[in-house]
Amino acid sequence: MTLGLTGRVLPAFHQQLKDELTFPLSWERSATRDFPTWRAEARAAVGEALLQPPDAGPHPFDPVTVDEHTAGPYTARTVEFALTRYGRARGSLLVPHGAGPFPAVLVLHDHGGEFAIGREKAVRPWAAPDRLARATAWAARHYGGRFTGDELAARGYVVLAVDTLGWGDRGPLAYEDQQALAANLLQLGTSPAGLAAHEEIRAAAFLASLPEVDGGRVGALGFSMGAYRAWQLSALSDHVRAAAAVCWMTGLREMLVPGDNTLRGQSAYFMLHPGLNRLLDVPDVASLAAPKPALFQAGGADPLFPPAGVTSAYRTLRAVWASQGAGDRLTTEVWPGQGHAFGAGMQDGAYAWLDRWVGGASGPAQAPAVPAAVGTPSTTGYASCRSR
């Protein structure tokens, strides 16, 4: 056996290392059958892996409105608030017209190697005309020409989108500098993924605190890296009632194979908590959100998340939700022929799902059903991972 390297800078003994990952803190292997006890223990382990020292007492948000304008049935505002104790950040806040409080969704932007825009990937920019063309092109490429935040606001949700460190107003980061940023943060005792998770917990708390928002009806939605952040946030934040995650769910073993995009490093650092994989698999962390409502959508032709990993992860998720008598709160879908994108059909399904679990009876009107045509989720074979 060689102790050297193989393709994609994997150690030649990577299979042996993978075999040692038994995920002893997973619900399946937990010594306790008391779910709240397991969740508390596992959540504490994830919290430790975030490498975020606890805040010393309450830290006020101190929000200010930078600008605002009317956009159809809602008002669009740029808000600035204390995202963490380290400093302030700006967010795009969309507030429907009329009497609140309203249901709300924290929309988490994707990665995609495009750092010049962040929150503008989800909310049409109005105060930065130079970013509009770039954002419009991005929406056309990945979102069927739609801005998900604007779509949700038009349906009656308060929407908040905030840049992750390195994107938009907090960047732009160069793709090849991601590993340097990760190394520097690790040298300073934290990590890109841990910092982002901490910031998103704070952003959800800020959104829930707004007078226009019904704090009991807050959801999270994200595509790609945003999907990872959405299910992770639901697992870690008590402010989030439900989460919809599009095109980011897999089993770790199925992801760490030669040729996988994760093995490049770079972008992987925003979704990597040092040491956590020795305790929990990817879907184990997502399962900390149970029994909250959760939606997972995957593209059947997504090259970043092949079928084996999606199937394995969905099996784990369904077992956990079912163990809590909450199988009806979990929806897992695979959309045949869909690549790594969040197109109109998937969006319509996600919005209808949010209407059910976040909008509620007093929320927005029920969305039209997704037509039973090409692009609807399969219910046979590999895609029979759908449960409602």
Question: Strand locations in 97-211, DSSP E?
Answer: 102-108, 158-162
Tens-digit pLDDT profile for residues 238-254: 999 999 999 999 999 99
Note the pLDDT of residue 2: 63
Higher per-residue confidence, 83 vs 130: 83
H helix count then E strand count, the chain: 11, 11
Tens-digit pLDDT profile for residues 106-159: 999 999 999 999 999 999 999 788 899 999 999 999 999 999 999 999 999 999
Task: Name the 3-class secondary structure at 264.
Answer: helix
Tens-digit pLDDT profile for residues 55-72: 766 789 999 999 999 999
Tens-digit pLDDT profile for residues 188-222: 999 999 999 999 999 999 999 999 999 999 999 99
In the predicted model, what is the mean pLDDT of residues 358-383? 38
The class that CATH gives domain 21-52+62-361 is: alpha beta
Task: With beta carbons less than 8 A apart as the criterion, state whether 230 and 244 touch.
Answer: yes
Backbone angles phi, psi at 381, to 5 degrees: 60, -135
Note the pLDDT of residue 211: 97
Note the pLDDT of residue 209: 97
Torsion of CA 29, 34, 38, 39, to 10 degrees: 130
Ranges of each domain in the chain: 21-52+62-361
What does the DSSP 8-state code read for residue 355? I
Ramachandran category for residue 248: left, alpha or beta (phi over 0 → left; psi -120 to 50 → alpha): beta
